[in-house]
Amino acid sequence: MTVLSFLDDFLEQVAAQFKEVLPATRKQLLVSSRDAILDNASRIDEWIVMSSTGQMSRKDLEWLVKANLDLAKMNRLESSGLSLARIDEMRGQITRTLISSLISSTGL
Amino acid sequence: MGLGQVLVILAFVCGCSPAIAPYSLQAYENAVDLKVDALRLMDQAELPYSENERRIQTLQTRMEKAFEFAKGRPKNEHSTEQWRIMNDPAAHLLGGFLRRWQTEGTLSRGFIVEAERIISRGFDSIIGLESGKVGSKNQIGK
């Protein structure tokens, strides 16, 4: 087996792994973003009602809206951190695939 | 295929450093414990700040330790930034809530309940990131 044919086989296996993982990640991201926007909108509506009925002050309302923005920052950090963790996980999978490909191609 | 070529490919794939710090059981436990204790303390914010000052200071010290622990781990910028926002008195999560409590003396029940909901989700975000890191599957639930 030549290096080129080995690399072709190996990259095909890697591409198959990406094909499974990426659409699922994209769908998860879209669903969670949509849910977060809808949830935030309904929360802010509730706070406006609470503020107008005297259950909380205008200052409370402002603070909570800003807190929601900070929470969004936290969630963005979580998502981007998890993406990096997935990259590390895939790198681990690629290494395992590479080793098993090498073992089968060299007959070890 | 020669052994040299095999080694070059292996070194290339395996030699890259990880993109993010691996899972830490201590970081996970810090976040879970602090979440429970912070929410319990926040629930007392209808009472004067001065009556809870000692407990608040203890919690703030533990929060700072959690931040420093996160900051000291290599490749851990995302978690460190999460802790920074959570602790920052000028922001609007736990640090900001405690500062507001101190400034106002007491806080209203309606505000406390809503703030607890947001801050609880902030802690969930820290916990979610830690438990999604590589190596968590082997350790969570042990």
Torsion of CA B13, A95, A83, A27, to 10 degrees: 130
For B134, the closest of A64, A89, A98 (CB atoms) is A89
* Domain presence at residue B7: no
Quote the domain boundaries for residue B60: 21-136
Q: Is A84 on the interface with B (CB under 8 A)?
A: yes
* Domain presence at residue B5: no
| Residues of chain A neighbouring B127 (CB-CB closer than 8 A) | none
Quote the domain boundaries for residue A27: 3-106
Ranking A82-96, B82-96, B115-129 by mean pLDDT, the lowest is A82-96
Please report the beta strands in chain B, taking only residues with DSSP state E, as ranges in sequence order.
Answer: none
- How would residue B2 be classed by pLDDT, with cut points 50, 70 and 90? low
Euclidean distance between CA atoms B3 and B90, whole angstroms: 58
Residue B13 confidence (pLDDT): 63
* Domain presence at residue B13: no
Percent pLDDT > 70 in chain B is 86
Residue B17 confidence (pLDDT): 80
Count structural domains, chain B.
1
The pTM of this model reads: 0.84
Two structure tokens written together for B68: 């420093």
Distance of CA A2 to the CA centre of its chain: 38
How does the average pLDDT of chain B come out, rounded? Answer: 92
Closest Cα of chain B to A57: distance in Å? Answer: 8
With CA atoms as reference, the chain B residue closest to A7 would be: B9
Q: CB A70 to CB B85 under 8 A?
A: yes
Q: Is B73 on the interface with A (CB under 8 A)?
A: no
Mean per-residue pLDDT, B111-117 = 97
Euclidean distance between CA atoms B127 and B134, whole angstroms: 14
Count structural domains, chain A.
1
pLDDT above 80: residue A20: no
Residue B141 confidence (pLDDT): 55
| Residues of chain A neighbouring B22 (CB-CB closer than 8 A) | 88
Ranking A31-35, B10-14, B56-60, B127-131 by mean pLDDT, the lowest is B10-14
